[in-house]
Amino acid sequence: MALLDKHRRIFATSDWEIMQRAHDKASQMLDRCPKTHPRCNELARTVMALYESGVHDADELAPMAANRELGHMAIGGHFQKPFVFTPQKMVSEYSHRR
């Protein structure tokens, strides 16, 4: 793989839709505008990085990205309780056991 290949980020339309839903939901969780907030692009990059790491569910991506953003806010002195989420893998395993 060439050095620049990892920066090209070619995704299918369905991938972009999942990431967009996650970004919108994370922005809502953080009570900020997904398009005009000063850190909206950083949040988008976080969603993309999490997606590339294998998390492909918008309901998992959103709180993970929002919690990462809380870390950046904490550096600036603003602290907030983390958002809770249950990974879908655990939900499906639990439902199969019942």
The DSSP letter of residue 37 is S
Give pLDDT, residue 95: 43
> Cα(48)–Cα(3) distance, rounded to whole angstroms?
18
Give pLDDT, residue 71: 83
pTM equals: 0.74
Express the helix, strand and coil content of the chain in percent, nearest 5 each.
Answer: 65, 0, 35
Please state the separation of Cα 46 from the chain's center in Å: 6
15: helix, strand or coil:
helix
Q: What is the mean pLDDT of residues 42-59?
A: 95
Give pLDDT, residue 92: 46
Question: Is pLDDT above 70 for 57?
Answer: yes
> Cα(98)–Cα(75) distance, rounded to whole angstroms?
43
Give pLDDT, residue 5: 52
